[in-house]
Structure 1
Amino acid sequence: MAEAVREAVRTGHLAPGARLPSSRQLASDLGLARNTVADAYADLVAEGWLTARRGSGTLVADRMIARPILARSAADRSGDPCPDLIPGSPDLAAFPRAAWLKATRRALAAAPDDALGYGDPRGRPELRAALADHLAQARGVYVSPEHILICADASHGLQILSEVLAGRGARNVAVESYGLDRYWGLLAAAGLKTLPLPLDTHGTDPVPPVGTDAVLLTPAHPFPVGTALQRDRRTAVVDWARRTGGLVLEDDYDGEFRFDRQSVGALQGLDPDCVVYLGTASQTLAPGLRLAWMALPPRMAEEAVAAKGQIDTCEVFSQLTMAEFIISGAYDHHVRAARRRYRDRRDALVTALAQYAPKVRVIGTAAGLHTVLGLPPGTEQRVLQSAARQGLKVAGLSRYRHERSLSAMPDALVVGYGVPSDAAWPQELSALVRILS
């Protein structure tokens, strides 16, 4: 009986959340002793196939498995939410509401009255102190609290840095050949020209051409390509900054989500005087918190504060709560749990593709909330059209290519597996695999 239930869950005939008959009813239906059924249920709960909740009965657990690969049209799924696998966001349903609320209550109870005023444009001192300790331990970032600047998100931080660079007379910023066009747009809005860096089989070659004033990189997990910047290249770009007086802008958007080995330390640790570190809670918690931070070289801290403005634009209650969340250990606990969840999703994706679409190459799976799926030459647009017909939101790799880049990668999809809830993920994975198979 237990094996039959496992197989039904594994193949999707019993969907996550489905209620099973009571042990008494099932024993009667099968002609078995009730204790036999109860023991089987207990084993399946212990193995993680089922969950037992007081007052709710026995339910099929949410498991990271692929549903059967069945042909379904967009019309068949017209009542479902539109599946979204666009990278750039975490699972918002997994936000730790109870822990966050607990931290908010503690933070507000301890907050001084002046915390409710306009405050320091650098951000609340409680959060800057908590971040200085956390970043040193988790990411190898070395910065004093007075050189941390709180901002609304990475785009806000880059906007501030763009103004600082333009004010210093900078003209050119080197960027990765594949990345976010909104970042390039922010640099361009400040009068800065973006120069795409070469890309080869080892990833980005980060040493820019003569006349470059700064370099914008995502070294721990280059977006969206996924190949971490190699050790010799990390050293080379920092050496370039020291030698020329240039600046490295390090976007560490998902550096805490590395799955297969210890996280790659931040580039900033190699030389805090040459590297600006940008971190954010948008991937680890939620973008709606509007919380990000920059670890600034001492020589440019005041310029960045002036560029931000004299009023702290980041809401104070979230800052105080985030400080308490970090200090209490709740943030570290949440990140570890999220890392396990997203690793399970990555593993389910890799397993399903190996079984149903073995010609698809999976690239950049060591970290983050997305992966790149290499496609046969000339098929990217056709696959995107097929996904659109099925109502599945996915992105093509070519969408992220800089218009002046001389480097081009083969056709591929960029799949974000962070967005769906645990309950929705199996269905969305199944939809993706149907398209690719």
Structure 2
Amino acid sequence: MNGELLIQHVRLVDSRGEHGTADVLIGQGRILSLEGGDARRHIDASGLILSPGFCDPHAHLREPGQEVKEDLTSGLTAAARGGYSDVVSMPNTLPPVDRAEGVAALKEKAARIGQARLHPAAALTQGQEGKRLTEARLLAEAGAVLLTDDGRTNEDAGVLALGMQYAASWGLTVSVHAEDAGLRRGGVMNEGGVSFRLGLPGNSVYAESARIARDLEIVRYVLAQLGGRGPQAKALLHVQHLSSARGLELIRQAKAEGLPVTCEVGPHHLTLSEERLESLDPLYKVAPPLRTPADAEALIQGLLDGSIDCIGTDHAPHTQDEKELDLLRAPFGIPNLEVGWPLLYTELVLKRDFPLPVLLERFTDGPRRVLGFEAIWLEAGAEASLVLWNPDQERPVEPQRFASKAKFSPWAGWKLRGWPVLTLVEGRAVFEGLEQPA
């Protein structure tokens, strides 16, 4: 059997578990064999692990209109370096992505760039103003995979309910930034002992949980309107960047009830907590804010037991000048497409014995299931969108080496293992770092 690439002596691990060592033959965009064969190129992958390519359901790539922060080329290149074969871009751009033409233009440009595959999310409401719904059918036909006003909370419950109904009729899920604007007020960090001590405006955990509770009631209402039927194989509601134990408790209860709801968590909410803001460094300013260590621990447990469906990076690049403003004026958000996998492999798998197949599921099958995509497993005939990574090579996070335009990180200097060395999209190499020094 002839192929284009043979990855030899590689350890296979996917969401189903570890599958030993194999010689993986790749050609025509698929895995042709796990037993070797002839190929134009051979890679000796002894000591390395091959897994399905990661899928990010939540990234801000800033194009159109904010290319000084990030553009499709830099963002999708960063994603490929992070092991991602697939990325969902948020629509809170300038102007917002709220028309079919905008979705199609992004997909066409991303295809020309040829890095990680782009799957645009589109706005739920026109201009993301929370008033008039966008055209769900046209957006779906153009390739939108989610509807969301991310970056803005949906304050009008009636608009959100109607939006869920329309989205469901075209097989789309509505994704929400779950914070009550009135309770959040002008908070720049978690409301609690640290914010009180620093004299900074706080964002209460109840801003998140109150909005999740309301949105779950809307799901119940919409289900009643639809006769109990949501979109096939998808949820009616996807909750972005869960940050609190209380929010997780509500999601867990809703799932036990059988509500069609999914959620994600970001690497920062799993590995950082509010104490970092003692430094007054805006690097740690995110929305929703870093919570307490107890919240982070609860989220790790939710990730472990499946209450949390997937990892969404919430990659949010800004200029260096913006992030060097004071804590009150600096924008929310951090870039993390390039560090998400090694960070969580190191902090969870290596340090806490978190099961590797479970973490891989939350990076691969979990987000694909949320989006309605097919899972990718390591077997003959499967799509060759894969990541080869080094479980032993340790190196520090060096933001100046990021492909992203945002050259800063709250994890700068952290020594991590698990760095991707090769990312394939349908058999085509979109990132190669095999020659990086140990």
Query: What interval of TM-score do these two structures reach, taking the shorter chain for normalisation?
Result: under 0.3
> TM-score when scaled to structure 1?
0.27
Instruction: Report which of the two has the higher share of helix.
Output: 1
Structure with more relative contact order (C-alpha pairs < 8 Å, separation 6 or more): 1
> TM-score when scaled to structure 2?
0.27
Instruction: Report which of the two has the higher share of strand.
Output: 2
